[in-house]
Amino acid sequence: MGSDGAVIEYDASGHIISPFYGYLPSDPANKTFLILFVVTTLLHLAQATRARAWWLLPTVVLAGVGEILGWAARTWSFYKPLNSDAYLMQTVALVIAPTPLIGALFITFGRLSGKLGLQYSRISPRLYSRIFLTSDCVALLVQAVGGGIAASSDDRSVSRMGSNIMLGGIVFQLVSLSIFCFFMGEYLVRRLRNKPLRKAAANNSVDTLYNVSEESFIEKSLLRLAFGLCAETLFLYIRGVYRVIELADGWHGKVIQTQSLFIVFDGVMVLLTMLCLNVFHPGQLSNTKPRSETSSTELKVPV
């Protein structure tokens, strides 16, 4: 029995089953994710510095730091399975951490649409940043408030209220991400089929870049970045759906107490997003210009 009189349960291997998780967090998985998130976050820090893309620091790098804290807390839970602080730390960190990562996707696509041609987009890059970043900040605030309430209360009903607030924040985030996916999908389809919504402006047209080898290379690299962005969005969308199902099922539900589901649909999805951003790094947007910009001023996308 524990010091509070609660019965301590053990699994088939003789390990203590944490009363908070419903299982003992896997030490090899925890340390693997911790190491990988440290590596990808440090790489992002170096890439952002090299590209002078400072907006990646409070988005991608911050998300990486949150993931590091969360997986460090899960490692702590392996050694101290009855410690509630470790559990609460990983809960809040890993629920909130991907939110600034989603913000990075919004900024990246706004800037990318400015490079590939504004005539294919329904809204301007400025509006992409303002609308979706605002919704992302609201989602972050709601999740933080819910997480704080759930983590600070021993009362089951109050804790459940905090959980519901967190759930509301994630649902709101998922709805926002769904709307973003619609705009991004429509843009890419129109861009690939060359079906603009309006006539191209003189300073942002990139109608056909395949006549000039250098500009063809630039456009192809931007399109690769766009498809990387699609993959990153898909990973975070899958993770968001999982989190909604998990929290809707409750703190003591089957979903939240199944470690393999958490590892695959949260840990792996966020890690793949971070690694994908390493490969298709948005910092390259700082060094590419639409065709007409070779003879005009650079298109600047406010954020």
**Which among 111, 128, 122 has a CA at the least distance from the CA of 197?**
122
pLDDT score for 129: 79
pLDDT of residue 217: 52
What pLDDT score does 34 carry? 98
Ranges under pLDDT 50 in the chain: 1-5, 204-214, 290-303
Q: Extract the tokens encoding 169.
A: 């924040």
Measured distance CA(219)–CA(28) in Å, rounded: 42
pLDDT value for 138 = 93
The pLDDT of residue 38 is 98
Contact between 129 and 303 under an 8 Å Cβ cutoff? The reply is yes
Helices 62-79, 27-51: crossing angle, 10 deg rounding: 160
pLDDT score recorded for residue 200: 65
- For the stretch 63-104, pLDDT in tens is 999 999 999 999 999 999 999 999 989 998 999 999 999 999
What's the confidence (pLDDT) of residue 289? 54
Residue 197: per-residue pLDDT: 85
